[in-house]
Structure formats: structure tokens, C-alpha cells
Amino acid sequence: MIAVEEARFGTVGLSDTGDDSRVAYASYGPDDAPAVLVLGGISAHRFVAGGPDGIAGWWPGIVGSGAALDPDHHRILSIDYLGGAGDSRLGATAGPGVPVVTTADQADAVVAVLDHLEIETLGGVLGASYGGMVGLALAADHPGRVKRLLVLCAAHRSHPMATGLRVLQRRIVTLAAAAGREADGLALARELAMTTYRTPEEFEVRFDSAPEWERGAPRFPVEKYLEVQGERFTRRFDGQSFKILSQSLDLHRVAPERIHVPTTVVSVDSDAVVPPWLVAEMARRLPASARTVRIASKYGHDAFLKERRVVSRLVRHFLTGSIHNG
């Protein structure tokens, strides 16, 4: 983890929204080093390399001292997503339903941070999952602010099956909230999500199928694992922030033809949330400068978090401009 005194944390008001919206950011490394933006999934936060009060970075082995993306050599930036669980704030919204926040809105928030920090161009953008979607929106809407882009486990649109599952998750949270049990519904929605992020192959190896008997009732190892994941999620998220970012995933649309910066897209052979064929569809529509890499993993969509060795190698090659077709 980076020493907190070596990092800068702050917020930037989004004055053009006409309300009190603001985006919270983190900056690590020398101000004059090449700037690299790092964005993760909806549960990621701005403290990608660690923060106050012992907050751990969410991408260990990839970002940090001695890692592929090292603050000794780069200025590392990240944000808390608008509408999410961090310190960014979404101003008052009107209308029924869940407030609409798009990946283009998140990209605009990134630009506000760049303007505040007087950074004209990012040397690179590393985006995984939802962060990859935001990276695509940033490159499409603000091409002059990005030199090159690395997208992991993300595509130009959401798969309808993934959207269907997230719709069910949002309904679970809404029904639970109406019954006065929002936290329980949120935990259950996260538990359901975890079954899509990972693979049957991993669960087969990791968990015994036989139950453990507690007070005469069966408890399954996978059940305990999922409950822990749900409880952890509710410590940071509330129902509204989850629904905002979940909906934002489903609203995501970027025309690949609009992206003219050198782009590397990485898919995972076992990813059920963003299947390789969908990433390939995007890659075919990207400019000739696009490069594609497919990695094999038993971890599915979460491979960008779990496959540290291969992801670290990809990031190092990306930062030096030496990634080749894979």
C-alpha cells in the first residue's frame, strides 16, 4: 500500500450540473509522471492503491509499489463513481424510479478531475468490468484526453442475459426495502451476482457438495461463502447506490467506431457476464489499432482480480506499448 502522505485525495464539484454533485478522486505518485487512470467494477473505490485509516487497495499485485503499475514511475488516478458507495455525490434528482447515471456521466466526471488537476492527457486508461465501460465512454467522448486504452472484461454494450440477472437483483432489493429489510435484500442480490462472476468449475474444486450439520440443519460450504460476500457488500453499499450503478451497467452503449485511440481489449474464456464473443464483436468494429487478448481462467468475470500474474504482465506490456495480438 502507498503511504497516505504520498497520496492526494480530494473532491471536485461538477458545477455544470446545476446542483451539488461532486466527484471524489485519488492521486498517487509524482505530479510530473505520466498519468494513468485506473477504474474497476461497481464495488471498486478510488483508493486503488490504499487510503486513509488502513483502507486497502482493491487491485493488489497490479497497482502499488513494485507492482506492474508503480507510483514511483506513474501518476495513478482513480475516482469514486457518481451514484455509488464512495465519497462522490449525486445531486438532487427528479422523476420516478432509479436516478439515471450513465458511463458517459462517469467519463465526464473523470474529465472534471483531469481539469482540476491540470492534466491535459492521460498516458493510459486501465478499465476493468464497469471501469472498462467507463474507459470506452471516455475514449469515445473525450478522445483528446486519452493516449491509449486497456479494457478488461468489458464491452461496448451489456449482454441481455447479464441485464436480466441484474434486473432481478434490483427487484430483490426493492422488494426487501418495501418490507423493511433492504440490507437483507442487498446481501441476497450480491450473493446472486457472485454466482455469475465465478464459474461452476471453480466452485466444483473449491466447495464440498456435502453439507455441514449445525443444530440438526444442513449448511453448505458454498452457502457460507455467499453469505460472507453479501455481508461484506452491505458494509459499503446501500440499496439505492447499488441500483444506480447496476442500472448504469445496463444502460451502457458506446459505438466502437467512435474510439480512435489505440485500444487493447482483454476477454476471459469463462466469463459469463461479458462473454468473449461479445468482446470480439466490439473488437471487430474498433479501428485497426485495436489489439485483442483472450486469457484462460477458471475465475470467470473476476479473472481480472484473481489472475494477477497474467494481468500484471498485460499491464506492464500495455504501459510500455509492447502488447501484441494474443
Spatial distance between the Cα atoms of 281 and 87, rounded to a whole number of angstroms? 35
Q: Place 1 in a pLDDT band, splitting at 50, 70 and 90.
A: very low
Residue 325: predicted pLDDT:
37
**Parallel/antiparallel/unpaired status of strands 35-39 and 75-79:** parallel
How many structural domains compose the chain? 2
- 271 has catalytic annotation: yes
Spatial distance between the Cα atoms of 104 and 133, rounded to a whole number of angstroms? 9
| Tally of CB atoms within 10 A around 149 | 27
- 324 has catalytic annotation: no
Q: Indicate whether 325 belongs to any domain.
A: no
Is residue 318 within 8 Å of residue 152, measured between CB atoms? Answer: no
Alpha-helical runs (H) found in the chain? 103-116, 130-141, 160-178, 182-197, 200-206, 221-234, 239-251, 276-285, 303-306, 308-320
Residue 300 and residue 239 share a domain:
no
State the residue range of the domain holding 200: 161-248
Q: Of 202, 220, 248, which one is at a domain's C-terminal end?
A: 248
Q: Place 94 in a pLDDT band, splitting at 50, 70 and 90.
A: low
- Which amino acid makes up residue 123? G
Catalytic pick among 271, 297, 302, 317: 271
Q: Place 18 in a pLDDT band, splitting at 50, 70 and 90.
A: low
Q: What is the pLDDT of residues 138-176, one digit of tens each?
A: 999 999 999 999 999 999 999 999 999 999 999 999 999
Residue 41 Rama label (left phi>0; alpha psi -120 to 50; beta) = beta
**Cβ-count burial 256-291 (b if 16+ within 10 Å, e if not):** bebbebbbbbbbbebbbbbbbebbeebbeebeeebb
Residue 184: give its domain's CATH number.
Answer: 1.10.1740.110
Give CA 322 to chain center in angstroms.
24
CA angle 4–230–186, rounded 5-degree value: 105
Residue 90 and residue 9 share a domain:
yes
Residue 323: predicted pLDDT:
53
Percent of the chain with pLDDT over 90: 89
Q: What is the pLDDT of residues 97-144, one digit of tens each?
A: 899 999 999 999 999 999 999 999 999 999 999 999 999 999 999 999
Q: What is the pLDDT of residues 269-315, one digit of tens each?
A: 999 999 999 999 999 999 877 899 999 999 999 999 999 999 999 99
At 99, list the grid cell. Answer: 436516478
Distances (CA, A) of 210 to 48, 189, 217, 218: 38, 24, 12, 9
Spatial distance between the Cα atoms of 160 and 58, rounded to a whole number of angstroms? 28
Residue 293 and residue 240 share a domain:
no
Catalytic pick among 129, 246, 248, 297: 129
Residue 19: predicted pLDDT:
73
At 86, list the grid cell. Answer: 464512495
Residue 139 and residue 8 share a domain:
yes
pLDDT for 3 beyond 60: no
Residue 244 and residue 202 share a domain:
yes
